[in-house]
Structure formats: structure tokens, C-alpha cells
Structure 1
Amino acid sequence: MSRRCALVPWALLALLGLGAAQEDEPCCGPIVPRREWGAQASECVQSLNQPLRYVVVSHTAGSVCNTPVLCRQQAQNVQHYHKQTLGFCDVGYNFLIGEDGLVYEGRGWTSKGEHSGKSWNSKSIGITFMGNYMERTPPPRAIRAAKSLLACGVAKGALHPKYEVKGHRDVQQTLSPGDQLYEIIQTWPRHRV
């Protein structure tokens, strides 16, 4: 892909005041950096060995956000809950997907998350959709954002080209990522139980 494909979404983000293109990024969709959503400083020290073979998809089971302002606030709320209440070193997820169609950087590609239990956190990227998807589906723009993020992970070498997608319920006893979102990810070609 050409360098221009990365500039178009980043140009839109720049116009919205949500970030700027980075020269070393492969052709990736828009990712809102931590500083843009007001993340607290991370205290995490454990890194991930890349490329990773697994992606675990969850939902926050909390409030929906469908605008950049609401999604920034929701990302802050999730991080506050994870750090203050659960005692995590940061937000537990590597990336958070908003119904606004944007991806919010959590721990990013290189830091081990706290999203799927000890046996999975060290070998997977945790992606969560902000909202509760037991009885409703995320909008198509949120699904496109997640798929774009996965393609970005492969392009960056963070994800193995033959990575597998797991629903949170595939790796832990939970209702996450919600019945409706789980039905969607089961149709993805890389989903494996």
C-alpha cells in the first residue's frame, strides 16, 4: 500500500484535533494516542514478545460512546476503574474500540495487558469494544475500525500473519464480548474457538 493511505485517516484526525500521522507507521487506520484521550501515565513494565499469535476480543459491558468526546471520557473511565479499583498498572486492554469508529490506544502493541487471564495476557493483544453487546451490535464503523487495527498489527509485525481471533468467552468463563458481538466475530475468517 502507498504512504498516502495512512495520511488520509490521519489528516481527518488532525482536522478533528485527535492526533497526527507518524512517519514510521505503516498504512493503519486512525488510532487515537493516549495523550489525545487524556490517559494517566502507565506504570506497566512487562513487554510482549512479537509477533503475537492471538487477539482476544471483549466488551467493557459499560456505557456506549458514539462521539470522540464521549469515547475519550469512556476510555478515561475504564482506565480509572482498572487502576484505582482493580489495582492494574494501566488500562487492561491494548486497544479500545469506540462506536465513533476510532481506535483508542490502551497499552499499545508492546505492553502486556490484563484482559484475559494469566495464560492469555502474555501471548495476545486485548481489544475491547466500549459498550455492552449482549443484546445489540456495534455499528459497522466500529467493526471496520477493529478489522483495520488487526491489519495494522500484521503490517507492523506485531501480529503473526496467521494470528487467531478469540472471543473473551473462548478463553475465560465470561459473557464477554456479549452475545451479539460474539456472533459477529465468529464470522471472521481468523476466529478459532
Structure 2
Amino acid sequence: MTRCCTLLAWALFALLGLVEAQRDSINCPAIVSRTEWSALESECNKRLQKPLRYVVVSHTAGSACDTPASCLRQVQNVQHYHVQTLGWCDVGYNFLIGEDGLIYEGRGWNTLGAHSGPIWNPRAFGISFMGNYMDRVPPDRAIRAAESLLACGVTQGFLTRNYEVKGHRDVQQTLSPGDQLYKIIQRWPHYRRV
């Protein structure tokens, strides 16, 4: 099956709430792998010591994407910016969330991210919503995808059961994750201000 067809199938399953591919017995959500979104090869090699206690939620502040095809292009754009312009070893986030309701693997569960500075990167997973959420909210399917990713992180042992969610602005001077997304994550049961 071609990459485009695979992504379309994933999107259909996600929209219908029937995603079964890449799920294990603990009902983790499907994650669009780096291979499926044609990621550049990572040059990162620093590993995270798990389980982690923190998750930092940000937004890319760039273009939103609401279809698998547009999200595929957007995650590639984010990686290109981080690698080619900033000189990083890979895309900075551990995971990216598209408005299509899909989760895109960045550095994944095992590799140290570059999302929140030297103090927080080794202590937290970085999850970034693709888009700008200063004046608008992400669709419910994107919020559900992030929440299911966090639940999976706990059941798989990547996150502690008492993990804490922080907004990017809680740990660095930034407007990220945007005013509207920040209001949403402040209502999550694991949100804690620093």
C-alpha cells in the first residue's frame, strides 16, 4: 500500500474511533511512524531515562493541517526547519499532533527531545500540536489523540502514574501552546503549573 493510501486509511480509522493498527494489548493509539511520514534520518543519540514525570505541551505556531496529506507535509516542514535552519539533530518534539486526529512520531518515547530547554528536555516528553492556537482551539479529535497518547505512556511505563502536564509557557518564556490550547490543557487532570 502506498504511503498516501496508508495515511488515508489511518485517518479513516481515527475518525471512526476504530484505530487498531500498531495497538497492543493495552489499547495504545496508532502512531504514524517516521517511516510513514518520510522523516529524515535522525542523528540524535541521547536517550531518556524513563519513566518520566513531566509532559510539556506546545504548538508549532505554524500552519495547521487537517488531512493526512497536509499533516504529512507539515511534520516534514517542522523537521526541515529544526534540522536545516536550527541545526538540530532531528525534529525537536517527541510527538506531534495533527488536526486530522493522528499522532506523528517525532523523536518518540526513547530519545531526548529539544522542545523546552536544557532543564526540561531530559525530564519531559514534548508533545506539539501542529498549528497556531492563540485564537482558536484544536479540534476535539486532536485533543483526544493527545489524551490517548498520555494514557498509553502511563500503561507502557514511559510516564509515571502521577505525571504532570505543563504548558510550554509554564517552563519557558513563550506564548506557546497558544492561549486557547493552554486553556484546554489547564483543565486536564494531570495539569500542574510549575
**TM-score over 0.5 for the pair:** yes
CA distance in 2, matches of 1:31, 1:23: 9
Matched, 1:83 2:83: yes
Q: Percent identity?
A: 68
CA contact (8 A) 1:14 1:20 kept: no
1:29 deviates by 1.2
Structure 2: gaps spanning 5 or more residues: 1-8, 14-18
Number of aligned residue pairs: 181
- Which residue identity does 1:120 align to in structure 2? W
Matched, 1:157 2:157: yes
CA distance in 1, matches of 2:182, 2:139: 14
Aligned CA distance change for structure 1 residues 111 and 134 (closer, same or farther; 3 Å):
same
Aligned CA distance change for structure 1 residues 14 and 131 (closer, same or farther; 3 Å):
closer
- Which residue identity does 1:183 align to in structure 2? K
Which protein has the bigger helix share?
Answer: 1
Alignment correspondent of 1:135: 135
- Map 1:36-185; keep pairs closer than 5 Å: 36-185=36-185
Q: After TM superposition, where is structure 1 displaced by more than 2 Å over at least 4 residues in a row?
A: 12-16, 19-26
Alignment correspondent of 2:186: 186
CA contact (8 A) 2:31 2:102 kept: yes
1:21 deviates by 3.4
CA distance in 2, matches of 1:97, 1:127: 7
1:23 deviates by 7.2
Alignment correspondent of 1:13: 10
CA distance in 2, matches of 1:92, 1:21: 25
Q: TM-score, normalised by structure 1?
A: 0.89
CA distance in 2, matches of 1:22, 1:101: 16
CA distance in 2, matches of 1:79, 1:113: 12
- Which residue identity does 2:181 align to in structure 1? L
CA distance in 1, matches of 2:131, 2:87: 22
Structure 1: gaps spanning 5 or more residues: 1-11
Q: Cα RMSD between the aligned structures?
A: 1.9
Tell me the SS of whatever aligns to 1:118: coil
Aligned CA distance change for structure 1 residues 185 and 14 (closer, same or farther; 3 Å):
closer
1:22 deviates by 4.1
